[in-house]
Chains A and B, each alone.
Chain A
Amino acid sequence: MRAIPILLRKEFRQIFRNRAMLPIIFVMPIIQLVVLAFAATFEVKSTPVTVVAQEWTPEARRLVQKLEASGLFYVVNHTASASMADEDMEAGRARMILDIPARFNLVSGQSDVQVILNAQDGAAAGVVQTYVRQIIGELNFDLGRRAAAVEIRTVHWYNPELNYQIYMVPGILVILVT
């Protein structure tokens, strides 16, 4: 029993004697915590988009403006050719292709746009899809259209601002302690 504090001192001395290991033992967990806290997020920040449009109608312009204004999308390329857009996506320059048909307007022409998403990251693609739907819903509202008389109110419990850190930090703590 009495040997335990002596053993403890010896162990401590041995640890501190090893110069190379010291930074690893003390500095590494701190670095990991910091890096993990900032790196570990699945938040989809800004999606690069290539717009394919044969014709620039005012509705088309509004749609693109609204997408960019949301801060969640930024246009990397405008083109009239779908194959150029495909190349952008293959090269990784764009993660989304917005294909606006000719005569895109709400009165007589086409009112359906095609959105092609790079779904390598399936979860991120789902999130981007939700964003696009929301923005289009807002655009419809701006243009004076209402889909139906139903009002859907969404409330997020436990994390109303959808803050990623709240989700990640408890998990990170567990991993680091292990």
Chain B
Amino acid sequence: MSKRGTTFTGFVRKEFFHIIRDRRTLLVLFGMPVIMMVLFGFVIRNEIRGVKVAVVDLSRDEVTAAIVDKLQASEYFDVVDDGTSDIEEAFRTGSIMEAIIFEHNFASRLIREESAGIQVVTDASNPNTASIVAGYTSAIIANYLQEQAANREPRTEKLITASFRMRYNPELKSVYLFVPGLIALILMLVCALMTSITITREREMGTMEVLLVSPLRPPQIIIGKVIPYLLLSFVNVLSILILARFVFKVPLRGSILLLLLECLLFIVCALSLGILISSRSKTMQTATMIALAGLLMPTVLLSGFIFPITSMPEPLQMASHLIPAKWFLIIVRGIMIRGVGFEFIWKETLVLVGMTALFIGASVRSFNIRLD
């Protein structure tokens, strides 16, 4: 066995011991992903379900009763109060999100083919849900009326109609969007944060001298520091994927092998980014701040994790190209939710490979072999 080989493996083992000895960091390393998954998966939801509706029925006839029944039967709505007089107060306290008002003599107007009016009022503090809720309400009412009309007279006039199919996610579950993003976020968080302090810590502790006089060359030092975190992150990936698949029921429609390989690529990318930060920071405090503010914040905001990139203004969309997580998200969502194969994601994979090479190259260059 060559002397170099033993030195290197010895170095890797030392790094491993350092990590394992630090119990609190280990807790963060393995516990945080689980906590984040639970938080985002169970607590934060974007779905329309059980929307509280108040009905003000100035008519009180069979037609209005039937419409209210249909609304109540739908899983989207929950008719809260029948006959509230003060809807303004109900809106203000937040106990309802929508109010439906039927005008007087509703059924008799319909029978006489006069126009009968329904007023729908929504709480538009959240504009998107307000549009969706109003849209669903109109659709349910329109459907009911069409059915009634069809029953009464033969259909002479045809209408253009549309049947909708929600592909990949028929129940419109919000976890399908969040969970792949969480994988990216957790990996980026753990990898970059952990490695960003590793080299700086050596400097601060004064053990950098020992490293520098050892036969290890800069590339070996960097790779040696990356390997333990690589293995630990891979364990994290597996646990996250298992949680996603079995607790949150997010499907994995594509090839698992491809997914794991891409995860590995992203882990290496995140780790090398952390090392880059570490090799350029003078103190651990600076390194952590740069990692948090310069890496994590942009990743959460601009990677498409929560806020869709297509909704952002042009300059921000261009800025999002710089964030590795953005490309990784396209890959993960493609494989997990759409079940695509490599031929659809080779471009994004190439980008990640390029970024990784860039980060590692820059780290090696800026790793000073003199004590600065």
Contacts and interface: CB of A to CB of B under 8 A. Distances in A.
16 contacts: A39-B302, A41-B311, A43-B127, A43-B128, A106-B159, A115-B165, A117-B167, A118-B167, A121-B177, A129-B132, A130-B132, A150-B115, A152-B118, A152-B142, A155-B121, A156-B124
Given A111-B159, A121-B308, A130-B132, A149 B176 contact: no
A129 B124 CA distance: 18
Nearest to A121: B177
Contacts of A140: 159-160
Contacts of A134: 135
Contacts of B165: 114-117
Interface stretch (A4-12, A75-83, A87-95): A87-95
Given A122-B46, A133-B135, A136-B162, A154 B122 contact: yes
A127 B120 contact: no
Size bin of chain A's contact surface:
35 or more
B311 A42 contact: yes
A84 interface: no
Q: Which 6 A-B pairs have the closest CB atoms?
A: A130-B135, A122-B172, A156-B124, A119-B166, A162-B127, A119-B169
Contact of B134 (A123, A148, A149, A154): A154
Interface string B165-195: 1111111111011000000000000000000
A112 interface: yes
Contacts of B301: 32, 35-36, 39-40
SS of A interface (majority) = mixed
A159 B131 CA distance: 11
A127 B131 contact: yes
B329 to A, nearest CB: 11
Interface of B: 46-48, 91, 109-110, 113-132, 134-139, 141-142, 145-146, 148-149, 157-174, 176-177, 281-283, 285-286, 289-290, 293, 297-298, 301-302, 307-308, 310-313, 316, 330, 333-334, 337-340, 344
A173 interface: no
A39 B161 contact: no
Nearest to B143: A147
Given A134-B135, A152-B120, A154-B138, A120 B162 contact: no
Given A39-B307, A148-B148, A152-B120, 9 more contacts: A32-B301, A39-B316, A122-B174, A125-B166, A139-B160, A143-B160, A147-B146, A157-B123, A158-B123
A111 B155 CA distance: 13
A156 B130 CA distance: 7
A134 B126 CA distance: 19
Given A59-B160, A151-B117, A38 B312 contact: yes
A100 B126 CA distance: 33
Contacts of B297: 28, 32
Contacts of B289: 21, 24
Contact of B127 (A139, A149, A167): A167
Contacts of B148: 148
Contacts of B307: 39-42
A21 B281 CA distance: 11
Interface string A10-48: 000000000011001000100010011011111111100
Interface string A58-76: 0100010000000000000
B242 to A, nearest CB: 21
B110 A28 contact: no
B371 to A, nearest CB: 19
Contacts of B124: 156-160, 162
Which of A148, A150, A158 is the most central at the interface, judged by chain B CB atoms within 10 Å of its CB?
A150
A68 to B, nearest CB: 16
Contacts of A122: 46-47, 166, 169, 171-174, 176-177
Contacts of A139: 160
Contacts of B119: 153, 155
B172 A151 contact: no
A44 B310 CA distance: 8
A56 interface: no
A111 B161 contact: yes
A122 B44 CA distance: 14
B127 to A, nearest CB: 4
Nearest to B120: A154
Contact of B158 (A111, A151, A162): A111
Contacts of A119: 166-170, 172, 176
